[in-house]
Amino acid sequence: MLFAQAQANAAALTGGGVFAMFGVSPTELLVIGGVAVLLVGEAAILRVSCWLFNKFAGGPGSPGSVPQPNFGKACVIALVAWIVQGVASFGVGLAVGPGGAAAGANHIIAMLVSVPIAFIVFAALVSTMLPTTFGRAFGVALCNYLILFAIVVCIGIMIAVLGLATGGLGR
Domain ranges of the chain: 26-166
Q: What is the pTM of this model?
A: 0.75
The answer to whether 50 and 137 have CB atoms below 8 angstroms apart is no
The answer to whether 110 and 136 have CB atoms below 8 angstroms apart is no
111-127 pLDDT per residue, tens:
788 888 889 999 999 99
pLDDT higher for 16 or 48?
48
Per-residue pLDDT at 35: 84
Tell the burial category of 79 from Cβ atoms under 10 Å away from its Cβ (0-12, 13-18, 19+). Answer: middle
Angstrom CA distances, 18 to 22, 24, 102, stand at: 7, 9, 44
